Amino acid sequence: MRLNIALLLTSNVVLATSFIINPLGSTIAPTTSQSRGILAAPFSTHLSVLTSGQSDTEVASSSSSTRSPLGIPGTADLEWEGLGFEFRPTKSNLRITYKDGEWGEFELCEDPTINIHMGATALHYGQACFEGLKAFTHPDGTVHVFRPKENAYRLSTSCTRVVMPVLPEATFLNAVNEVVRDNIEYVPPYGSGGALYLRPLLFGSGPRIGLQPADEYTFILMVMPVGDYYKGGLASPVDGLLITDFDRAAPRGVGNVKVAGNYAADMLPNMVSKSKGFPIGLYLDAKTQSMVEEFSTSNFVGIDSKNNKYVTPKSASVLPSITNKSLMTIASDEGMVVEEREVQLDELESFDEVLACGTAVVVTPVGSITLLGDVEDPDDVEASDVKKFVFGDSSEVGPVTRNLYDRVRAIQYGEEEDRYGWNMKIE
Ligand code: PLP
Ligand code: COI
């Protein structure tokens, strides 16, 4: 089984690298009603597939001099303050189709709708995965995407797990550059506190009725300006609920990849938690129910200030967060002891601060986590089943959380030197 999957995926990669290249670059073909036209991969002649040691900075530094000038971020007619996190139409989305064993050319489309076969494997069998990353305007007006190579890599792990063809890293990075370039006016201006959220989506669009992988796939890269995921952002710690009657991911399931089904599994517990007054839900490990795993849409981090420790759960069913990886680097550079290990539920008592981290939530302080047990009413604090873990002064942002937030934001917004090479400049 393992060998067959490996062969299948190897052949996908080989075929995918025969991507059609128009060396002249950025010409846009005549438009149709749905599509603004085919865009040949503009940087492909300059860009080789990177090895894992290269920084994101190196990726887009080889732009062609024949390109039209980049527009100005933040010039779309929008209220930039208080954007929130919701779908918003922009100028275009970028699409690439995989057919006959290879990825095709880029297409920039104005239409936000898609027309797919009713037998598409994404719809029936959940052959679908997605990513999330952000672009930021720097003080000098340039626009930079945070760690896109990491998203290209994680997308490839999701594709591999649900037997979809891998999109080559260089194609992914080119697509990111092209779609941000085309939607540059929707990148929130520097100082607004917002970002352009990029949502790559890859799914089986070809039909199957027996259970097997599709032979056609669609990659879509949509973008939209966003602000805070949780109302109030950093200033307002959120209260969490321990989810005890559902599991997010099985030990050897798909929790460590970003496939659509993980979010379907979370939809009901998530809505129930919110209806009880808890904006964020925390999952335990499915096997023993004794270890902390992660929140629905973000990783868990506990701060033990007395021992100067940054503690985050290590588990095969947690999604490897790019934000968490970045915070671990920053924390360790600041002299904190970073521990990525099993975290027992009882250990919640020992944390002075807890934070949720992810692209959408950035760094969100968590003021408390409540274990309701069989108690229905969250206000029934007298009930013996109810246990509430409170972190520091639960209504204030803790100093470590604030510092980690400030440091990662300063790098993303170009206020601090990008010494790790995390920002990819849009050319
Ligand atoms: N965990 C889950 C389940 C997520 O959906 C996300 C969001 O992408 C994260 C963690 C955070 O990952 P990242 O920091 O790469 O956005
Ligand atoms: C992100 O943080 O980019 C995510 O994908 C989380 C999403 C479910 C809101």
pLDDT digits (tens, 9 = 90+) for 180-202: 999 999 999 999 999 999 999 99
CA 413, CA 290: separation in Å to the nearest integer?
39
Whether residue 425 lies in the annotated active site: no
Q: 2-227 domain in CATH 3.20.20.70?
A: no
Residues 83-93 have pLDDT tens digits of 999 999 999 99
The proportion of the chain whose per-residue pLDDT surpasses 90, expressed as a percent, equals: 79
Please tell me the predicted confidence (pLDDT) of residue 380.
Answer: 72
**Rounded-to-integer distance, Cα 194 and Cα 369, Å:** 28
**Which residue has the least CA distance to atom 7 on ligand 2?**
297
Q: How many CA atoms lie within 13 A of 50 on its CB side?
A: 23
Residue ranges covered by each domain of the chain: 2-227, 238-412
Q: Which two tokens stand for residue 301?
A: 């981090």
Enumerate residues lining ligand 2, CB below 6 A: 132, 263, 297, 358-360
Ligand 1 center from residue 358 Cα (angstroms): 5
How far is C-alpha 271 from the geometric centre of its chain's CA atoms? 21
CA 376 to CA 386: how far, in whole Å?
Answer: 10
Q: What is the pLDDT of residues 277-317, one digit of tens each?
A: 999 999 999 999 999 999 999 999 999 999 999 999 999 99
C-alpha separations of 296 from 17, 246, 266, 281, 350 in Å = 35, 12, 7, 6, 22
d(CA 70, CA 272): 45
Relative to beta strand 387-390, strand 133-137 is: unpaired
CA–centroid distance, residue 64 to ligand 2 (Å): 32
Atom of ligand 2 nearest to the CA of 360: 2
| Residue of the CA atom closest to atom 10 of ligand 1 | 298
Q: How far is CA 13 from CA 51, 52, 167, 305, in A?
A: 15, 17, 8, 46
Mutate to test the pocket of ligand 2, among 133, 359, 361, 363 (most ligand atoms within 8 A of CB): 359
CATH H-level superfamily of 238-412? D-amino Acid Aminotransferase, subunit A, domain 2 (3.20.10.10)
- Per residue in 226-268, pLDDT (tens digit) is 999 998 889 889 999 999 999 999 999 999 999 999 999 999 9
- For ligand 2, atom 3, the nearest C-alpha belongs to 132
- In the reported structure, the alpha carbon of residue 129 is separated from the centroid of ligand 2 by a whole-number distance in angstroms of 12
